[in-house]
Amino acid sequence: RGNPMRIALYQCPPLPLNIGGNLQRLEQQAHDAAAQGADLLVCPEMFLTGYNIGAEAARALAQPNDGFAAGDIAAIAKAHGIAILYGYPELSADEQVYNSIQLIDSHGQTLCNYRKTHLYGELDKAMFRPGEDRFPIIELNGWRLGFLICYDVEFPENTRRLALAGAELILVPTANMAPYDFVADITIRARAYENQCFVAYANYCGSEGDIHYCGLSSLCAPDGSRLALAAQDESLIIGNLDRQLMEQSRSINTYFNDRRPGFYAGLSED
């Protein structure tokens, strides 16, 4: 289990309502990330279609998790030998639309599909149904991965439950906008530190309708450092997961040994 893992985060302006254009961009980024030795490429929330697109478009563009886009992305992953995590509007078997992310490995196999559980504001609530209580932990390249989407990470309970379930890396595609830069800047580092795991946060930049995205995508380490950090512009940032760094940090920051869960039982009450 000693293998390092190299992670690429693609920060970009949304390309709304253009699945073909986004698949094209993804192909290019997968090529570039793989050329730099990345094992995994993480894209923003709703990358396939754009995020601020309204309920009608979200439904019209929604796809089943094994739809044509998943097939195209599996082919891209396989061609470049890189795992890909991307956001998209998911059409479920019972015709509901979810804000979902899917992880496809470097052999083109789907490893995980996760639906956003905590919907943000009218924007999300108009477009999506909230995901059910399903927080999978998936193994990739010898690392245990958990998944959240944007607003999900702003609830400390979500990252904590993943860390307690053994997540060593939490992947968070996001569409975080001004004035919530604090989340990208501070909260993500705090989540990595308080849970002694890596957190990858892939955000948009630029604008979409009246939304201005704040960029600041990052790969944060258990010691609170940022192994990769984007500014406000389109960029592909890359950082390495280092198991030794994690173990060293965990030996100093012993939160999981020192917790007193009996005191917190009431936190799950309404």
Catalogue the active-site residues.
Answer: 45, 116, 150
Give the chain's length: 270
Distance between CA atoms of 192 and 187, rounded to whole angstroms?
9
Q: How many CA atoms lie within 13 A of 237 on its CB side?
A: 26
Q: For residue 248, give Cα distances in angstroms to 16, 145, 224, 253.
A: 43, 19, 13, 9
For 17, the token pair is 């309502």
Positive or negative CA dihedral for 8, 12, 14, 15? Answer: negative
Residue type, 53: I
Q: How many CA atoms lie within 13 A of 221 on its CB side?
A: 20
